[in-house]
Structure 1
Amino acid sequence: MAISPNYINESKYLLHVRPAQLDALWKEGWRHFGTHFYRYSWASYDDVLCMVVPLRVSLESYKHNKRFKKILSKNKHFKTTVSLISLKEEHHVLFDKHKQKFTHTIPQDIYVFLSRQPDKIPNPTYQINVYDTENNKLIASSFFDVGSEAISSVYGMYDPEYHNYSLGIYTMLMEIEYAKSKQKKYYYHGYSYDFPSMYDYKKRFPNIEAYDWRSWQEPKNIFMKPLPKRIYHIVKLSDWHLDHYQETEIRPPGEFIHCSYAQQVARSANKYFSDQESVLVLHIAPERVHSLIKDEYAPDGLLFPHIYGYIPKMAVFRMTLISKNENGSFEFDETIDNDLYE
C-alpha cells in the first residue's frame, strides 16, 4: 500500500486566487471553504485513525456508467441551470432543509462553506440549480470552482423530500458535464478515507485517481483489499507517559519492537505482564508502518511479528485498555477489528 508517512495539517487564508493557482492547490490536496484553504492527511473517523485520500476524475475519455445514466434520465424532467453564483433566499431555505441530515457539527448557515462574496472572493464560484417547475421550488444546488485545467466541487445540498432522485450525485454529474463542455482535464470531487466510510460513494466514479500525498495514481494502489493482518503492541500504563511512546515515532528500547497477532495478545499479556493489573494494547495498521516487520519464532515455537525500527503514531488506529478478570488473567477480544479489516 502506497501510504505516505508524512503528517500534513496545514491551513492558510487567501483573499484572491487565480485559476492556475487553484489547479496547483488542488493537485497537492488543498480544498477550501471561503477564504480558508486547508489540507490534512490524517483524520479520525468513528474513533479510528485513517488516511485522508483526495480524489479526482480524469475527464479524458470519461463516460457515465449505467447507474449514472439512470440518475440523469430520472432527473431530466427537472429544470437544471448553470451560472455564476448568485445566492437568493431560496438557497438559504434549501440549506436549512438540507442541514437536517447532519447529526453533529451542524453548520450554522451556508457561509460556513462560502465567502460572503462568493462571486469574487477568493475566486468566482459557480452554481448548479435544479428546479421542480411543477411545484415552483429549488430542490438542489451545488457550488464549484473553475481552474485553468480543472473544476472542483465545493458543496452540494438538496431537499430531503426528493431523496429518491439521488440529487447529490445528479449535481455532481452536472458539474462533470460542465467541466467536459469547457474541455477541462479533471474534476476534483472531494476526498475519502483509506478504509470504508460514508464517503465511499466518491470512489465509484469512473476514471478516478487518488492522491497518496506523493502522487496521483490508480485507487487500487491505495484502497488495497484485503488489508494486511493487524498487529498489536502491549504497553505498561506506567510506561505510556515516557518520551519513546509520546513522540510521533514510537521507539521503545531494544533490538526490535515486540508485537503479537490478535490471538496472541492475551497470551503475551499473561506471560510478560503478569505483575500488572491493567495494560494498554496498541492496535497497529501494518500497512502504515515503514520499518521492517518480520515474523520470528519465539522459544516456544510460535511466530510473532517484530518491528525493526519504529511505529509511526499515525499507524496506531485504536488503543484498548485491558484488565485482569476475576481469575487474575488478561483476556482480549480477537475479533475487535474484524469489522474494519474483513
Structure 2
Amino acid sequence: MSGVSRLTSGVLQGGEPPAGSGTDTGVMQSRDADAAELLHMCSIEDWARARALGEHRPTSLAESGFIHLSAPYQIHLPANRLYRGRCDLVVLSVALNLLDCPVRWEPGVPSDPESMLFPHLYGPLPIAAVNSVANFRPGPDGFFEPLAQTTY
C-alpha cells in the first residue's frame, strides 16, 4: 500500500451509528459544497468517550467554537501537522445530512495553500452522523500520506 496512509478497513466496535437523524448542514462554501461525507480524526480513547456520551466534543469545540473536519483528499495535512507519528487514531466518516449544526468551509493555517478551504462543524458531532470508523496509521517514517479514494 505504498503512497497512501494506512486506513484499516472495517468498523471498530461501536462504530455503527445508532438510529436517528439530524437536519440541515447549514452554510456550505467551496467546490466541495455537494460532498455527502467528510472525515474527522480523533484518538481511539476520544471516540470511546464520544460513543458513551452520544456525541463528540473535542477540545477544539470549546477553544475555537468548531470541530475540524476534512475532505478525504485533505486529511493527511492536519494529521501531519497535529498527530505525526501517532498510531492511536481513528478516522470517522461523517454523513453531512445527519448533522444538526452548520458546516462552513474556511481557510486553514497560513502554511496551507491560500485557495484551500477546510470544513468546520460549528457544534458537537453526534455519533448518529458517523457512518464508519477506521484505524488511521502513519507510514514507517511517522508521516500520514494522502488517502487513496478507495479507502474511505
TM-score by length of 1: 0.31
Alignment of 1:1-342 (within 5 A): 49=17, 228-242=35-49, 244=50, 246-253=52-59, 254=61, 255-299=65-109, 300=112, 301=114, 302-331=116-145, 332-337=147-152
**C-alpha RMSD of matched pairs (Å):** 2.7
Which whole-Å deviations, capped at 9, do the CAs of 1:151-203 have from their partners, x for residues lacking one? xxxxxxxxxxxxxxxxxxxxxxxxxxxxxxxxxxxxxxxxxxxxxxxxxxxxx
Residue 283 of structure 1: how far off its partner (Å)? 0.5
Residue 238 of structure 1: how far off its partner (Å)? 4.0
- Identity of paired residues, percent? 26
**Would you say the 8 A contact 1:228–1:287 is kept in 2?**
no
**Would you say the 8 A contact 1:50–1:317 is kept in 2?**
no
Residue 270 of structure 1: how far off its partner (Å)? 1.4
Aligned to 2:28: none
CA distance in 1, matches of 2:127, 2:42: 14
Structure 2 vs 1, CA of residues 305 and 245 (structure 1 numbering), >3 Å: closer, same or farther? farther
Structure 2 vs 1, CA of residues 269 and 323 (structure 1 numbering), >3 Å: closer, same or farther? same
CA distance in 2, matches of 1:50, 1:334: 26
CA distance in 2, matches of 1:50, 1:228: 22
Residue 324 of structure 1: how far off its partner (Å)? 1.7
Residue 268 of structure 1: how far off its partner (Å)? 1.7
**Would you say the 8 A contact 2:103–2:122 is kept in 1?**
yes
Residue 279 of structure 1: how far off its partner (Å)? 1.2
**Would you say the 8 A contact 2:95–2:129 is kept in 1?**
yes
Secondary structure of the residue aligned to 2:118 is strand
CA distance in 1, matches of 2:107, 2:83: 20
**Would you say the 8 A contact 1:278–1:324 is kept in 2?**
no
Residue 298 of structure 1: how far off its partner (Å)? 1.0
Secondary structure of the residue aligned to 2:46 is coil
CA distance in 2, matches of 1:252, 1:277: 18
Q: Which amino acid aligns with 1:330?
A: F
Residue 234 of structure 1: how far off its partner (Å)? 0.7
CA distance in 1, matches of 2:89, 2:126: 20
Higher relative contact order (CA 8 A, sep 6+): 2
Secondary structure of the residue aligned to 2:73 is helix
Which whole-Å deviations, capped at 9, do the CAs of 1:17-43 have from their partners, x for residues lacking one? xxxxxxxxxxxxxxxxxxxxxxxxxxx
Count of aligned residue pairs for this structure pair: 117
Which whole-Å deviations, capped at 9, do the CAs of 1:202-241 have from their partners, x for residues lacking one? xxxxxxxxxx9xxxxxxxxxxxxxx743111110234334
Structure 2 unmatched ranges of 5 or more: 1-14, 22-33
Structure 1 unmatched ranges of 5 or more: 1-46, 53-211, 213-226, 338-342
Structure 2 vs 1, CA of residues 236 and 48 (structure 1 numbering), >3 Å: closer, same or farther? closer
Residue 249 of structure 1: how far off its partner (Å)? 2.1
Q: Which amino acid aligns with 1:280?
A: V
Structure 2 vs 1, CA of residues 320 and 261 (structure 1 numbering), >3 Å: closer, same or farther? same
Q: Which amino acid aligns with 1:282?
A: L
Which whole-Å deviations, capped at 9, do the CAs of 1:237-284 have from their partners, x for residues lacking one? 343343x55311222232100110000112221111014134110110
